[in-house]
Structure 1
Amino acid sequence: MEKLLLAAHVLAGILFVGPVAVTASLFPRYAPLAAGSGDPGLRDAGVAAVLHRVTRSYGVIALVVPLIGLLLAGVQGRVGEIWITVAMVLTAVAGGLLALRIAPTQREALDSPDDGSRLRTLGAMTGVFNLLWAAVVVLMVVRPGAS
């Protein structure tokens, strides 16, 4: 059971969190700018809308990752270990950032394009989101304080 849960946890992380990291990171590149805000480059509102939809839907589906992780930690008897607690806090912060800031800001950028300042902020938030997940992965590998 433990190996099955571990495989499901890793696979879910790759298949569900990975796409969110990619689509959220790509969104600012394709999101529209207000008219007269400089070179539009490769901006495409249709592509940005798809990226937003994938970010939102895979963000919801990615909730399975920490759920499987908690189940796995329970099966392994590791729920009280500090690295699990830190990983869960970082996961909650990343999820909150995605749900409360990144996805709504993407929607705002689609609904009312600005001069790009919102997209720069969005890029920074997405970078923090991705760094949080990178920290969680490092915790899963290094497991500081594991018994």
Structure 2
Amino acid sequence: MTKFLLAVHVLAAIVAVGPVTVAASMFPPAARRALASPDDSRATETVRLLHRICRVYAGVGIAVPVFGLFTAAAMGVMGDAWLIASIALTLLAAIVLVVLVLPGQEPLVEGAGSREATVRLAMVTGVFNLLWATVTVLMIVRPGSTTGA
């Protein structure tokens, strides 16, 4: 059962977190293009599509920590420092996404943002991506693990 839970957890991370990090990273430059050419319907639609991808996959991404917690419980590692750090960083990444990234995209989707807003959004998105990268490294390295990894 542990292998099944781990497989679902990893697949959920790939399928959910991957698209939201890529779409969120692509959003600021796409928004800059849309702001520079307000009559370009393709640029505007790209911004809307990227925002929709971020919103949808943020919701789907809830499966990642849920299956992660089930996996950790099955593996008996709930009290390990690397897991606690991963949980904290995952929570922080979720907060950054829900409180800063998605709301930061909203005015740009509506065409009401500015170039400065895209720069700020790019920085916040970078923080979000770094948090996920750190969690990924912790999941692979697992300091103190007895698996030999």
**TM-score (ref. length: structure 1):** 0.91
Does the aligned pair in 2 maintain the 1:83–1:146 contact within 8 Å?
no
State the Cα distance separating 1:63 from its structure 2 match.
Answer: 0.6
**Distance in 1 of aligned mates of 2:78 and 2:50:** 35
Q: Which residue of 1 aligns with 2:5?
A: 5
Does the aligned pair in 2 maintain the 1:24–1:51 contact within 8 Å?
yes
**Distance in 2 of aligned mates of 1:72 and 1:84:** 11
- Aligned residue runs from structure 1 range 35-114, under 5 A: 40=37, 44-114=43-113
What are the Cα deviations for residues 102-139 of structure 1, in whole angstroms up to 9, with x where unaligned? 00110121224333000001001111111100000100
Does the aligned pair in 1 maintain the 2:93–2:128 contact within 8 Å?
yes
**Distance in 2 of aligned mates of 1:3 and 1:93:** 27
**Distance in 1 of aligned mates of 2:68 and 2:14:** 13
What are the Cα deviations for residues 84-108 of structure 1, in whole angstroms up to 9, with x where unaligned? 0000000000001001110011012
Unaligned 5+ runs, structure 1: 34-38
**Distance in 2 of aligned mates of 1:145 and 1:134:** 19
What are the Cα deviations for residues 34-78 of structure 1, in whole angstroms up to 9, with x where unaligned? xxxxx54x8711110010011011001101001100000000100
One-letter amino acid of the counterpart of residue 82, structure 1: A
**Distance in 2 of aligned mates of 1:24 and 1:113:** 18
Aligned length: 142
Does the aligned pair in 2 maintain the 1:83–1:143 contact within 8 Å?
yes
Q: Which residue of 2 aligns with 1:121?
A: 120
Q: Spell out structure 1 runs of 4+ moving beyond 4 A.
A: none
**Distance in 1 of aligned mates of 2:114 and 2:59:** 30
Give SS of 2:16's match.
helix
Unaligned 5+ runs, structure 2: none
One-letter amino acid of the counterpart of residue 6, structure 2: L
Q: Which residue of 2 aligns with 1:36?
A: none
**Distance in 2 of aligned mates of 1:115 and 1:19:** 25
Query: Aligned Cα RMSD in Å?
Result: 1.7
Q: In proportion to residue count, which structure has more helix?
A: 2
